Structure 1
Amino acid sequence: MYSTTDENGIINNFPKEPKMYLAEKPSSAQKRNYALQGIAAGLLLTAVVWISLAVS
């Protein structure tokens, strides 16, 4: 851990920074899975809205 001390004697600690890396593009299978998850989320949201309207 990296520490500094100012003119009043107050210590300030800094954490170690993590290594940076670039993200990779999703594969076609991952893209398909994301699309399916989006469709499932949309259907779930639609069902919740219709159920709440039917109950009220």
Structure 2
Amino acid sequence: MNNYTKDDDGRLNNFAVEPKIYAADAPSKADKRNYLIMAAITVVLVAGLIAVAVVASGAST
């Protein structure tokens, strides 16, 4: 794929070539389940990081 186009006279046109547009597929049930698992893991990790930060700062009273 070229990153440029040529006009009828053979001159280069250095404007960006537009990508082909396509419709995205809806996520399947397996994809949705995987997204939910990743979100749950992320919440646990962020909560753990916050807990470590609070304990390390000595602000747990």
TM-score by length of 2: 0.71
Structure 1 moving runs of 4+ over 4 Å: none
**Structure 2 residues without counterparts, runs of 5 or longer:** 7-12
Higher strand share: 1
**Structure 1 residues without counterparts, runs of 5 or longer:** 4-11
Query: Kindly, what percent of the aligned residue pairs are identical?
Result: 35
Secondary structure at the counterpart of residue 14 of structure 1: coil
Larger RCO, structures 1/2 (Cα 8 Å, 6+ apart) = 1
Q: Alignment length, in residue pairs? A: 49
